[in-house]
Structure 1
Amino acid sequence: MSGTFARYRLVIIITLLLLGGIVINACLYYRQASDDIRRSIAEQGLPLTGDTIFSEIDQGILRPLSAATLIAHDTFMAAWLQDGETNPALASRYLRAINGRNGISGSFLVSERSRRYYYAGGVHKTVSAGDPQDTWYFRCRDMRRDYEINLDWDMTNGGQATMFINHRMLDEQGRLLGVIGVGLPLPQLSKQLAAYEQRFQRRIYFIDGNGRVMLSSMPTTLPRPRLQELPGLSTLSGAILSGPETPKKLEYKLHGNRYLLSSRFLPELGWHLLVEQNETSALRQLRTAVLTNLAINSAILLLVVMAVLITLQRHQQKLRQLATTDQLTGCLNRLAFLDLLPGWLRHCRRSDAIPQLLMLDIDHFKQVNDRYGHQVGDLLLRETAELLRSQLRGNDLLIRWGGEEFIVLAASYGHDDSLAERLRSIVSRHIMQGAPDKLTITISIGMCLWREPETLESAIDRADQALYAAKQAGRNRVCLARPHSSDSPGSFSEK
């Protein structure tokens, strides 16, 4: 592992620096983009949504409010009340004509003189100060404004949750004649707001001056919750209800999410319009895009680095091959031999094998070169190496030692010279391909068993002396050097 790191240290360092740069750049971009998105939401998105909601809610609330104002100033109804309410059917018919327009689900009139509650179906009841359901009327009697908006159950319409616009009726002297108004079905308004929220991906609330949620997409239960009871928003209730000043930009955190809020006062309704957006949700798409871009850039970088590493590895393998392989024969050279020898010896020790060293030399190679030329000589060396390699086992080593000399290192389990004899035999029986005159050659082999603590130089020297003895004995033969402990010049055994 440490060797691999050392070889590719520069590439690894550059890769880590580039990855770090990509991550830092992605973080800086995300921070800048999130700030821009946050600023855009707070300064443009939420206020523009509020403007759009206000303009579109005009038909839902402001037009019924205008209708209530018109009928409150209708001289026909004022005269009817002043004339003693002689024909209740006139009032019912009048109120029935109002229903169904501008989303109005019902209309009503309460006379101050008779306390009768008129609606499209006739007289509903007589209001009483002692009835809790009638407190709204007595509140309207004493209010200073011309109208109020109230949420209540419409008992004339099946007990449906309704938004009532209650408008005072006055005579020419400013005396109270009664309260007239219209009702808007709260579920329909909540459904409309839910459609806006789905369209703009933001939460919308209408809050009255006391902090009560008058209109939202929440379930249409009564009584409506107060701003102070809503998680997160409760901490901002003071700032929201502090006064009808310029639009406010607020924010709060809840359950790990950050919410941006725009608040504006609607003087026509006396309400505050709140538009809220989950910033965490708004940034989710940006975060996904940044992470995707980061993953793609990192993957591209890693692919490039892998391509560079593969190219470097192939280049290094080629250089290593050039440095450790004999280019003519494909055999190991001396440098590779010395590099692989320690590991090969450890393998022999683990398997209780005795290293066997063979020194081989092509007989009369100089005459072949002189007669047929160096091209034939090179061909002879290549084919000889192939023949030798074909007889070796996987752990055996074949080294071109120099000129026409080769060394074979093989694991031996006794005085076994069968490998050396096979090598000699296959070469002597082979007709060289591409050489003229059906050329054949022979090899001489000097063989020794290498036991520790004998040095490599000593073992090679003994094998070389055995090779010399094979040459002197007539060539095309194997000579085995005697053991190192009893070695003496000329003490060889011919096989």
Structure 2
Amino acid sequence: MNVSVRLKLIIALTTILVVAFISVSFFNYNVSRNSARDEILNSALPLTRDNIYSEMQSGLMRPLFVSSLMANDIFLKDWVRDGETDVVKIMRYLDEIRTKYGFFTSFFVSAKTGDYFYYDGVLKTISPKDRHDVWYYDFVKSGLEYEFDVDTNQAVDDILTVFINHRVEDREGNLLGVAGVGLKMDQVACLLKTFTQKYSKNIFLVDPQGVVQVHADKQLVESLNIKDIQGLKNIADEVLNMNRNSSAMFKYIQDDEPVHLTARFIPEFDWFLIVEQKESAAMRAARDNFIRTLGIGALATLLIIIISILTINHFQGRLENQANTDELTGVANRRSFEKRFDGAMSLYLKTGSPFSVVLLDLDRFKEVNDTCGHNEGDRLLKEISGVINSSIRESDLCARWGGDEFIVLVSGDSSQAVFIAERIRSSVEQASVCKDIISIESAVMNVTVSCGVAQYLSGDTLDSLTLRADKAMYESKELGKNKVVVG
């Protein structure tokens, strides 16, 4: 096969493999990207949002239950009816509630006196003029049985606290006061931080004005407004004005990167839960898989190409060997000899390096075929070709010329060719296998060769050179066979 044709085949195979693989890889990558995007919008974000919401709701059920127990506790009601005189009793009661259930604080505000009792005594007497006490009057006025209120805890360094307020009434429905417990807002922040780490998403709570109230990064609390966040500020009003009875999905661009956001209103806090995720985070797995696929594909393609090249070379070698080798004897055929002759002639024309040919024919080969059969004749030809090859140099070439004729291209002048021819003739005459073949039928039938030698002369062609060698060979036969004659 022509080298350029082989190269074209390899290039074509490589191109097909590479183009096909890259096309399939990009298709799979796009499918993975779309699947990842759909998962963000329809699964990951909504599930994370609802899980957090449910977790927060579950976390508030326990303090609500305890507040309800306090509001219906006979001890508390009896203590109020008895005139609220024994402050130590209410202190112990509130402290036991706080420590038993692990709350940050517990309290009772008397409707009669306005005193604010907590586990460490009387904090204050509330007043409608004190902005910190407005919650009490608003709650009583609302007529609600209970409410959640986020406010600072004046009893403990104004720490932000989630208060669960519950009405306390007597049997006739008269208001006795408001009892409840409080959770540190840090507990909610820890919950959000846990979800942030677990789901690899940005999670925080904002008030109706957009101010961040709870965030894993405490430095952002009450110091950052979503209306000031790059990209998010473009949809902040839309988020804050969403339907508070349902959740919603949003999208904005930040640093040329899509960010998906979902929000849900939490009525207990009067805040919005916001969960957001950058699209690149979800695409990272698809991108990494794409890169791995490309790497594995490149390696597989390289291996396929190498195997293909080795396979092509192997079969090409076999084809070339079949095309240039005589099938019976294994020596070069006429086609191969002609190529070698053209090369020797080109070298002669360039450098003047002499070369010659030896044309030889088996003596009495027809008798061998007639006497011993064609199988033995073929065996004899194989043996003779082996003897010839062992008698010539590496620079020489033996080829089957046709029938029982062989030709040898000798690097050198006629004297060197005669030397080679004599060595061939002598080796054939002495070959034991040849004698064994002939002795099957007749011990007196000896196998020999007649050789004709001709040196290449300027102006010679293959035909003219072999014609001179052929004449010399027939002359050797006329002289009695088993001889070398120069033509």
Unaligned 5+ segments in structure 2 are none
> 1:39 aligned to 2:38?
yes
- Structure 2 distance, partners of 1:391, 1:343, is 22
Alignment match, 2:329: 329
> 1:396 aligned to 2:391?
no
- Structure 2 distance, partners of 1:125, 1:449, is 132
CA 1:453–1:51 in structure 2 vs 1: closer, same or farther (change >3 Å)? Answer: same
- 1:140–1:168: 8 Å Cα contact kept in structure 2? no
Q: Secondary structure at the match of 2:416?
A: coil
- Structure 1 distance, partners of 2:131, 2:32, is 51
Tell me the CA shift for residue 248 of structure 1.
1.4
Tell me the CA shift for residue 376 of structure 1.
2.4
AA aligned to 1:268 is: E
1:326-366 per-position Cα deviation (integer Å, ceiling 9, x unaligned): 11111211122223444455677899743232222222323
- 1:211–1:228: 8 Å Cα contact kept in structure 2? yes
CA 1:249–1:458 in structure 2 vs 1: closer, same or farther (change >3 Å)? Answer: same
> 1:165 aligned to 2:163?
yes
1:412-461 per-position Cα deviation (integer Å, ceiling 9, x unaligned): 38943433332222222112255142664222322333355543333323
Q: Secondary structure at the match of 1:419?
A: helix
AA aligned to 1:247 is: S
Tell me the CA shift for residue 179 of structure 1.
8.1
Q: How does 1:234-383 map to 2 (within 5 A)?
A: 234-245=233-244, 246-254=246-254, 258-286=258-286, 315-343=315-343, 353-383=353-383
Root mean square deviation of aligned Cα: 4.8
Alignment match, 1:466: 472
- Structure 2 distance, partners of 1:479, 1:160, is 126
1:368-421 per-position Cα deviation (integer Å, ceiling 9, x unaligned): 333333222222211010111123344432111112221112323894343333
Moved more, 192-201 or 235-244: 192-201
Q: TM-score, normalised on structure 1?
A: 0.74
- Structure 2 distance, partners of 1:143, 1:77, is 23
Tell me the CA shift for residue 227 of structure 1.
3.0
> 1:429 aligned to 2:430?
yes
CA 1:220–1:136 in structure 2 vs 1: closer, same or farther (change >3 Å)? Answer: farther
CA 1:299–1:222 in structure 2 vs 1: closer, same or farther (change >3 Å)? Answer: closer
CA 1:384–1:254 in structure 2 vs 1: closer, same or farther (change >3 Å)? Answer: farther
Q: Secondary structure at the match of 1:99?
A: helix
AA aligned to 2:427 is: I
Which of 430, 448, 451 is the equivalent residue of 1:445? 451
Q: Secondary structure at the match of 1:416?
A: helix
Tell me the CA shift for residue 187 of structure 1.
4.2
CA 1:181–1:403 in structure 2 vs 1: closer, same or farther (change >3 Å)? Answer: same
CA 1:140–1:343 in structure 2 vs 1: closer, same or farther (change >3 Å)? Answer: farther
Tell me the CA shift for residue 94 of structure 1.
3.2
1:214-266 per-position Cα deviation (integer Å, ceiling 9, x unaligned): 33444587556443455654444222212334321112344675432221212
Aligned residues: 473
> 1:97 aligned to 2:103?
no
CA 1:464–1:413 in structure 2 vs 1: closer, same or farther (change >3 Å)? Answer: closer
- 1:152–1:222: 8 Å Cα contact kept in structure 2? no
Unaligned 5+ segments in structure 1 are 482-495
AA aligned to 1:164 is: V
1:8-35 per-position Cα deviation (integer Å, ceiling 9, x unaligned): 8578657745654554445444434543
AA aligned to 1:476 is: N
Q: How does 1:122-161 map to 2 (within 5 A)?
A: 122-123=121-122, 137=132, 140=135, 149-150=149-150, 156=156
- Identity across the alignment (%): 31
- Structure 2 distance, partners of 1:275, 1:338, is 83
Q: How does 1:177-192 map to 2 (within 5 A)?
A: 182-192=181-191
AA aligned to 1:390 is: S
- Structure 2 distance, partners of 1:22, 1:241, is 48
- Structure 1 distance, partners of 2:486, 2:151, is 117
Q: TM-score, normalised on structure 2?
A: 0.75
Q: Secondary structure at the match of 1:260?
A: strand
Alignment match, 1:489: none
CA 1:459–1:94 in structure 2 vs 1: closer, same or farther (change >3 Å)? Answer: same
- Structure 2 distance, partners of 1:102, 1:239, is 40
> 1:120 aligned to 2:115?
no
- 2:148–2:268: 8 Å Cα contact kept in structure 1? no
Alignment match, 1:478: 484
1:29-61 per-position Cα deviation (integer Å, ceiling 9, x unaligned): 443454344334323443333333322222323
Alignment match, 1:384: 384
AA aligned to 1:137 is: H
1:288-332 per-position Cα deviation (integer Å, ceiling 9, x unaligned): 566667777887788778777766655554444333321111121
Moved more, 450-459 or 372-381: 450-459
Q: Secondary structure at the match of 1:361?
A: strand
- 2:438–2:447: 8 Å Cα contact kept in structure 1? no
Tell me the CA shift for residue 205 of structure 1.
2.5
CA 1:160–1:152 in structure 2 vs 1: closer, same or farther (change >3 Å)? Answer: closer
Q: Secondary structure at the match of 1:428?
A: helix
CA 1:430–1:275 in structure 2 vs 1: closer, same or farther (change >3 Å)? Answer: same
CA 1:271–1:63 in structure 2 vs 1: closer, same or farther (change >3 Å)? Answer: farther
Tell me the CA shift for residue 281 of structure 1.
3.5
- 2:357–2:409: 8 Å Cα contact kept in structure 1? yes
AA aligned to 2:376 is: V
- Structure 2 distance, partners of 1:78, 1:348, is 129
- 1:429–1:440: 8 Å Cα contact kept in structure 2? no
- 1:362–1:444: 8 Å Cα contact kept in structure 2? yes
- Structure 2 distance, partners of 1:46, 1:23, is 32
- Structure 2 distance, partners of 1:124, 1:374, is 128
